[in-house]
Amino acid sequence: MIQEPQINPQLGPIIAKQLQMMIKQPIDGVHVIFNEQDVYDIQADIDGPVDTPFQGGVFRCKLILPPQFPQMAPKGLFNTKIFHPNVSEKGEICVNTLKKDWNPIQWSLKHIFEVIKCLLIVPFPESSLNEEAGKLFMENYDEYFKRAKLLTSIYALKQEANVLKGNNQIVFDEADKKNKVNQIQQKKENDQKKWLKRI
């Protein structure tokens, strides 16, 4: 059985140190999620910048390191659905810092997340991954803004959560979530019964 190449283990302490530094000295609007069990699980929540259609939303972003890292750039991915010219429907992020401008010597996780946050403020529709979003941005910005804001309201609005202070992980109360879903379902059924009685 052929083993897949692994990331250089010597990078682990470097990545952990950079993540811990970002927790101690955070970027405004970027909240690192530190996974003590796996330092290569690099994720952060990015607040939607003010005066953008993403304002009020929180977007979970993940960096995927290839085995050749840092000679090869990491891939950026939004786990939260977003309507943006430089983000594909699958969440893949297109930004020069992770493409042709990647520097394998002078790299930092802080800089990568700063660039991704800036991309939410200033998209580059010329190099769109989402052609529909790029076209709307160029030809009908108001319609683009409405569409992006709508998706933000559906997928990225802040939710109530319990925070485990020990490891900065956010855990949603699944029981409460299920109760709310059941309440909504029950209301629909009651409304339907009332409607059937009327006819």
* Residues marked as catalytic: 94
SS3 32: strand
Cα–Cα distance measured from residue 187 to residue 22, given in angstroms and rounded to the nearest whole number: 45
Residue with tokens 């309440």: 183
Cα–Cα distance measured from residue 138 to residue 145, given in angstroms and rounded to the nearest whole number: 11
Q: Peptide bond before 53: cis, by omega within 30 degrees of 0?
A: no
Using alpha carbons, list the distances in angstroms from residue 197 to 45, 189, 190, 191.
48, 12, 11, 10
Please, which residues bridge with residue 162 across strands?
171
* H-helix segments, the chain: 11-24, 109-121, 131-139, 141-155, 174-198
Please, which residues bridge with residue 30 across strands?
46
